[in-house]
Amino acid sequence: MDRPPKPNGQKPSTAQGRAYIIGGNTGTLAFVSSVRAENKQITAWLVPLAWTPIGVTLGENWQRVNVAADNLAGWVDQTFPPEDERSFVGSLRDLELLVRSGWSAEAPEVLTDEMLLNPEDVPEDVLDGIAHPPEPLVQCAICRRTCVRDQFAWNERQLCAWDYHSTVFGRRGPWRNAPYEERLFETIPSAAYVAGPLLAEAQVDAILSVSQLPEPLMQTLVNETIAADSSSAYLAVRTEDGMTLLRERKPLSGEQKPQ
């Protein structure tokens, strides 16, 4: 990919080669910017990670940790255990080479893919996450999974996509089988996005999705759809630029099952 030329006066190398990714797991990505030991300690940075149905997001608040320089390999094993299916580690041999050469760069304030020394060690979805701007992360109020703040809030609680879909779009969600009165449109659930695979788990179909239309028209389309068949249960969800109408799946009898 061609990169735009750097503006005059800016050294082309300042943003490059500033982070060596040591490893990662479900909740954390660890990197170093310098492997020069101070008091026999090497500084590593832990970046929080959120895995969502639409990819990986990096958090804004990094944690700084000191690792004993003579136990770097032990720390890596302990921090990124193979039992975590999302854990990965960078090349320890390359890390040792960096230690031997006394590599040191200025710690970045934001990670970008172009400053990575070892992008080949990093899984594709984590690389995609690094390519996007970081966001504030919070813990899901139900499962404690790390999630992106305000993507799925319900009754003032922060939820992950999984818990939001099963709670709000589950049996006890605000379903109805009549069109919405206008004032009710202000109270419908609001989510960053509706995730198809999670809807399937909740036995729900997204039957109408409208976006970038005037509000009254979107409301009319939603209500007309509900009015066309009031024997089903419906739930309208506000998304970033529109609305999605969900319909509860009716139990299928044997001969109606789709092929």
- From 19, 140, 168, 191, residue interacting with Zn ion (rule: CB under 5 A): 140
Stretch that binds Zn ion, among 90-98, 112-120, 133-141, 179-187 (CB under 5 A): 133-141
Stretch that binds Zn ion, among 86-94, 136-144, 165-173, 238-246 (CB under 5 A): 136-144
Using the minimum distance from each CB to Zn ion, give the nearer residue, 69 or 198. Answer: 198
Q: Is 143 in the site for Zn ion (CB under 5 A)?
A: yes
The interface mask with Zn ion, positions 158-187, x = CB under 5 A, is: --x--x------------------------
Q: Is 201 in the site for Zn ion (CB under 5 A)?
A: no
Alpha carbon distance, N-terminus to C-terminus of the chain? 44
- From 15, 17, 145, 242, residue interacting with Zn ion (rule: CB under 5 A): 145
Q: Are 72 and 99 in contact (CB under 8 A)?
A: yes
Least CB distance from residue 234 to Zn ion, whole Å? 25
Size of the site for Zn ion (CB under 5 A): 6
Bridge partner list, 139: 146
Q: Is 50 in the site for Zn ion (CB under 5 A)?
A: no
Could you give the CA distance from residue 112 to residue 15 in angstroms, rounded to a whole number? Answer: 8
Q: Is 142 in the site for Zn ion (CB under 5 A)?
A: yes
Using CB under 5 A as the criterion, which residues of the chain lie in contact with Zn ion when the complex forms? 140, 142-143, 145, 160, 163
